[in-house]
Chain A
């Protein structure tokens, strides 16, 4: 049942000739033309510690969560973003696009199919950015420990800054987790994005080991 990797390249990603609206034909190679392949780089702190501390204080006050739910835990985000638990009073908000978010919450089990999308979403986010893993499934597989299509250990594939335990974690646990994340950010310890840049080849190798139909560039921001 082994298949040749070209099998997975979707037709819209194949190099081909297209005709523009002005009738001129030209060649496109989507994987080269539509994406940037340059690997991420490490972002160094400011030249003075006090300035970096100030930046970190500001970053901690400004958490924007990408509205992307993966497992059962996504259901807990609804009470959290509505009046019942109202995370907005802690300065935490949701955004609909990766370009405007800096916190990726992996809210439960991740099938390899979703992992692919989560990686893309993460790579499209701007620095500084953080990853929080929610629930047992992201930590050690949880009740999906013997499932054939979920990953068992999120930090092998994405740089996790903080895990919140539980199955599923209640909104209160999330609020507590976000407060802890703020402490980490203020202490300058939420360095996931830099870890990702430093160990980029290691992360990519792990990702490609489980995503068999890799049909995107290595880094697609």
Chain B
């Protein structure tokens, strides 16, 4: 993977390189170079398959991380491209014309994280949620417990027990 990294470095201002396994590595690069880098990897390096497109909410740094994971099936290796974006008003260029499946990922990211991909087909349609009326639920500033308590009727009397000590108490009452 290092040879690949050197080739990428010669072409794009790529940042940090993490080699997870001999056939899996991640590189960070600025959003503006994502598209040429994806095209290069797809057309010149044989990474023809978009495995997934996902996001991580780094709320402490005020950033979203997008990860584009590509696979080269012939050589059995994967590379992930990471792009860091500001968390506020996040907009990213769509890549649905490179891989049509990306449109589905982008639609999900728009709904669950609020990351906008203008021009991506159907990106403003509801994907999984119906009638959602709060901030996107995968953002880390969304308080899921609070939302659940406010929105849904609860049955009183629910308690949580530690399974280990509870079973000890049940099976061997009175012993330690």
Asked if B153 and A1 sit within 8 Å, CB to CB, the answer is: no
Q: Which residues in B have their C-beta under 8 angstroms from that of A149? A: 129, 137
The B-contacting residues of A in range 162-221, CB under 8 angstroms, are 206, 209-214
Given A212-B130, A212-B132: A147 touches B148 (CB 8 Å cut-off): yes
Given A147-B144, A148-B148: A112 touches B158 (CB 8 Å cut-off): no
Asked if A145 and B131 sit within 8 Å, CB to CB, the answer is: no
Nearest B-chain residue to A157, judged by Cβ: B153
Q: Which residues in B have their C-beta under 8 angstroms from that of A1? A: 132-135
Asked if A148 and B135 sit within 8 Å, CB to CB, the answer is: no
Q: At the interface, yes or no: A22 with Cβ under 8 Å from chain B?
A: no
Q: At the interface, yes or no: B3 with Cβ under 8 Å from chain A?
A: no
Most B CB contacts (10 A, CB to CB) among A150, A206, A212 go to: A212
CA A149 – CA B153 in complex, angstroms? Answer: 12
Q: At the interface, yes or no: A116 with Cβ under 8 Å from chain B?
A: yes
CA A155 – CA B150 in complex, angstroms? Answer: 18
Q: Which residues in B have their C-beta under 8 angstroms from that of A212? A: 130-133
CA A112 – CA B132 in complex, angstroms? Answer: 10
A110 to chain B: closest CB distance in Å?
Answer: 10
A214 to chain B: closest CB distance in Å?
Answer: 8
Asked if B152 and A210 sit within 8 Å, CB to CB, the answer is: yes
Asked if A145 and B133 sit within 8 Å, CB to CB, the answer is: no
Asked if A152 and B130 sit within 8 Å, CB to CB, the answer is: no
Q: At the interface, yes or no: B20 with Cβ under 8 Å from chain A?
A: no
Q: Which residues in A have their C-beta under 8 angstroms from that of B134? A: 1, 148
Q: At the interface, yes or no: A65 with Cβ under 8 Å from chain B?
A: no
Q: Which residues in B have their C-beta under 8 angstroms from that of A140? A: 154-155, 158
Asked if A2 and B129 sit within 8 Å, CB to CB, the answer is: no
Asked if B155 and A152 sit within 8 Å, CB to CB, the answer is: yes
Q: At the interface, yes or no: A119 with Cβ under 8 Å from chain B?
A: no
B81 to chain A: closest CB distance in Å?
Answer: 30
Q: At the interface, yes or no: B12 with Cβ under 8 Å from chain A?
A: no
Asked if B142 and A152 sit within 8 Å, CB to CB, the answer is: no
In the complex, which of the residues A113, A145, A209 contacts B130, with contact meaning CB atoms closer than 8 Å?
A113
Q: At the interface, yes or no: A108 with Cβ under 8 Å from chain B?
A: no
Q: Which residues in A have their C-beta under 8 angstroms from that of B151? A: 148, 209-210
B140 to chain A: closest CB distance in Å?
Answer: 13
Q: At the interface, yes or no: B33 with Cβ under 8 Å from chain A?
A: no
Q: Which residues in A have their C-beta under 8 angstroms from that of B130? A: 8, 112-113, 116, 211-213
In the complex, which of the residues A148, A206, A211, A214 contacts B153, with contact meaning CB atoms closer than 8 Å?
A206
Known: A113-B128, A141-B154, A211-B131. 18 other contacts (CB 8 A): A1-B133, A2-B133, A8-B130, A112-B130, A141-B152, A145-B158, A146-B144, A146-B145, A148-B134, A148-B144, A148-B148, A151-B152, A152-B152, A153-B153, A156-B153, A210-B151, A210-B152, A213-B130
Closest 9 CB pairs of A and B: A213-B131, A212-B131, A146-B145, A140-B155, A156-B153, A148-B144, A152-B152, A153-B155, A140-B158
Interface residues in chain B, defined as those with a beta carbon under 8 Å from any beta carbon in chain A: 128-135, 137, 142, 144-145, 147-148, 151-155, 158
